[in-house]
Chain A
Amino acid sequence: MREDVEVSQVKSIIERFKDKILDVKKVQDNQWILITDRDSLRPIVTYIMQSEKFKEAHIATMVGTDERPLRGKMSVTFWINTLTDSMNVFIGVRTYLEEDNLEYDSVSKDVPGANWYEREIYDMLGVVPRGHPDLRRLILPDDWPDNVYPLRKDFKYTESPVSYPNYSFTYTEERSSCAIVPLGPYHVSLDEPAHFKLYVRGEEIVGCDYKGFYSHRGVEKIAESRLTYEQVNFIAERICGICGYTHSTAYCQAIERISKIEVPERAEYIRTLLLEIERIHSHLLWLGVASHLVGFESGFMDAWRIRERIMWLAERLTGNRKTYGMNVIGGVRRDLLDYRKDLVTKTVKELKKEYKEFVDRLTSIKSFIRRCEGIGVLKYDKARAYGVLGPTGRGSGRNIDVRRDHSYAAYKDVDFKVPVYKEGDVLSRALTRIDEVFESIWIIEQVLDSIPGGDVIAEYTEIPQYEEGLGYTEAPRGENVHYVMTGEKNMVYRFRVRAPTYANLQAVPEMLKGYTVADAPLIIASIDPCYSCTERVTIIDVRDCKTMTLDEYEFNMLSVKASKRWF
């Protein structure tokens, strides 16, 4: 039945475009690729994205691959998550481009959410989306030379070409009558480099331009050039300082799907447990930051104090507060011991009580609510057009959640609600996250009740070459997608990561327009852009190489001592 519905959805697209579809491949369960010519790419993508049939369709990722060593061409694939009432399928619309004509018709004018994806493949591979509204450099630094494309296979990852800076960060529209507020690249409310150029009249924001990717680390190139399948897992977990485990899970799932590895059920449950622990700490972190940004410091302190419980729990279960290192291809590295289950139960129970008190207090602070209500509104239509994901999308009425729509790990076995708010303002996004923490606690309780016995890792012998597939998770910030194309010598041929912030950030300029400079930090933070933090101190004596790890009390006392004055 499932297969039939899935096929009928793909068929409906094939029938509509008939001879323009050159080939159809089912690459994985629920993942299809339609191959078309360069001229039909735009109409097919636009049709799927705008069709009423696929009411919550959005671009899951876009992958450009240098396949010249394999077939003498480059490929461009729009992976669309087609969400319908009956069946959810990832459809990849692909075209191959010859080296002497690397152009295709841009879809960004019809689908605003495609803007960055197209700019990125132009930047990294030199594939030109014809008619793109804003083809400025997106990712590479200003002093990167023209016509050097780092994701092409003939570019060595060790190369470091430099030319003269060519600053392209200028707004295309004339804004001479406005003052410019430079929110970034370093701003106290951003916590990581990003540059929002706000065009203001008085304090009102009338326009916004964004420049980011200051911290681009070339993870994909490193993965493709020098790491084995197992090693990529570790770099995947280090993509994010907050939700690294979700990246690691998505990558492992992609490889497991391609290799048809049956992950033991117990491992799936342990992954689910850790994913929800990660979600709780991420949302609590955000609630603290949001409080801080509007000057409600006790909310910030409360949220982070409660968060400490879940960080402590993660450390007990995995050995690390962050970057758990628990995933391996085929399962998890360590089992959840029975006595740890009691620990989790006890901690979650205490957390639930404290969290409820905190939420009651936070939502009773009228000034906090006033700062969030009716601010940074992103209407449903815009949210869908930009493909906004996670709590940001759900706060604008998008009823999407990968855990439910494309069930993975143990989510198929647990019951949970997907909170959706329709107002689209900062408050809606906050309430979505608040509700999600309760759901996560509920999921953890169910996982502990019903975790099955058995192995935690499956053995596998071979990963097939030149197969492809998507791994996906619902990260704290939304749908997280990893595309993998396997290669030779135990290495990936193409690795593409699309974190949810990539989709959400594109909509921020829309959220900012019409509001004031005072609201800008909160509006930007409301999509919960990623940033990392260090919370553990280890003292190393360089002479005898002895290490000493401070506990919480010692750490506090050290800071008290450091700030102590001479009277």
Chain B
Amino acid sequence: MIASVLTIAIAIALLTIFSVLMEGIRGKIKARLQQRIGGSIVHEIHDILDLLTLKGITPEELPIYVVAPYFAFSLSLALGLSVPFGKIVIVSGNMLTIILLVLSITAIISIPAMLVNNVYSNIGANREIIITFTALIPFMLVCGIFLVKFNTLSIVEIAESLLVTPSVILGLAVIGYVVYVLSEFAPFDISRSNTEIIDGIFSEYGGRFLGILEWAFFIKRFSLVMFFSSLLAIPITKGILGVSTYGGHVLAFAFQLVFLTLYYIIATLIEERTARTRINNVIKVNGVVTLVAFLGLILSLFGL
């Protein structure tokens, strides 16, 4: 019991603090690439805490605006806890749970943004929904691949029995891409684009509520990258120390953090070489990725 509580506490601490710290590290890397000094790596943490001390501002008298940030934060935490830490699963650890939670977060952020009489919020919500749905379709097809190949949707079980086959490689590549899109790294940062739609879905929020939403967004991003990292870390650990040893747990978690950091660094490097895209391009590219995932599914049905 104590071990479980302790594990959950560590996981929550990791999700809430590390997720924001990673944004600070990204900011520092960006600054260095742009030959700037840049802010401290704890800058983002301070900004979030600053926002939390301010009075919450919401539009008109819509109660949903007040509860939405808290719901988004809770759902993001739930998403993070659904992802394996090393090989420790706290809640569910199932790929369907990931889909459900991502959809829920999108819904709870988008619905208030669509209700308010602000065209920038409306456009942001519209974009958020399109991005999520078009990215989750290939994700679901990859779930199909894993079901065919491993007969399970448990993340740890999939990772432990991962085989190097064409369909699995395609599936992993698609998940890597989908995580990038859902995490809204550039060029997919269009639902909150500042210069185009003045922060879009977030434009009606201010103060504490904005702080909670930003925090929720960072946790969501961190959780998704943790999920993808676990799919890479666990198979490697298995090859080195076996799956069920204590050292195996620690090593899997260490590898997961390494992959997570690498993912963030690569995302930052990509962001440095790209401009923001348009929503029609997102639909087009996600459509192509859906076809790739579909191809992977067909290959898996043929045993490849």
Contact = CB atoms under 8 A, between A and B. Distances in A.
B121 to A, nearest CB: 11
A189 B274 CA distance: 19
B90 interface: no
Nearest to A299: B275
B55 interface: no
A292 B198 CA distance: 14
Contacts of B119: 179-182, 200
Contacts of B279: 203, 516, 518
B35 A305 contact: yes
B70 to A, nearest CB: 26
Contacts of A563: 39-40, 43
Nearest to B39: A563
Nearest to A560: B37
B281 A301 contact: no
Given A188-B194, A293-B195, A521-B195, A298 B42 contact: no
Contact of A518 (B33, B43, B122, B193): B193
Interface residues of B, number: 38
Given A295-B276, A296-B274, A370 B34 contact: no
A518 B34 contact: no
Contact of B275 (A181, A291, A519, A560): A291
A295 B33 contact: no
B197 interface: yes
Interface string A369-386: 011000000000000000
Interface stretch (B5-13, B173-181, B182-190, B242-250): B182-190
Residue with the greatest number of chain A CB neighbours at <10 A, chosen from B45, B197, B198: B197
B35 A365 contact: no
Interface residues of A, number: 39
B193 A370 contact: no
A266 B194 CA distance: 48
B281 A370 contact: yes
A298 B34 contact: yes
Contacts of A518: 190, 193, 196-197, 278-279
Given A517-B196, A521-B195, A297 B34 contact: yes
Nearest to B281: A370
B42 A567 contact: yes
A416 interface: no
Interface in A498-542: 516-521
A203 B272 contact: no
Nearest to A364: B273
A520 B39 CA distance: 31
A10 interface: no
A365 B275 contact: yes
A305 B37 CA distance: 13
A261 to B, nearest CB: 47
Nearest to A564: B40
Nearest to A371: B275
Contact of A565 (B40, B187, B274, B280): B40
A521 B197 CA distance: 9
B30 A365 contact: no
Contacts of B196: 189, 293, 517-518, 520-521
Given A294-B275, A367-B274, A367-B277, A188 B195 contact: yes
A318 to B, nearest CB: 27
Contacts of A567: 42, 46
A135 B154 CA distance: 69
A179 B119 CA distance: 8
A25 interface: no
A411 interface: no
Interface in B125-140: 126
B63 to A, nearest CB: 25
A8 interface: no
Interface in A258-298: 291-298
A294 B271 CA distance: 12
A53 interface: no
Nearest to B36: A301
Contacts of B43: 563, 565
A371 B276 contact: yes
Nearest to A556: B37
B294 interface: no
A518 B190 CA distance: 9
Interface of B: 30, 33-37, 39-40, 42-43, 45-46, 119-120, 122-123, 126, 186-187, 189-190, 193-198, 271-281
5 contacts: A293-B196, A295-B187, A368-B275, A565-B45, A566-B46
Interface of A: 179-182, 187-189, 200, 203, 291-299, 301-302, 305, 365, 367-368, 370-371, 516-521, 556, 560, 563-567
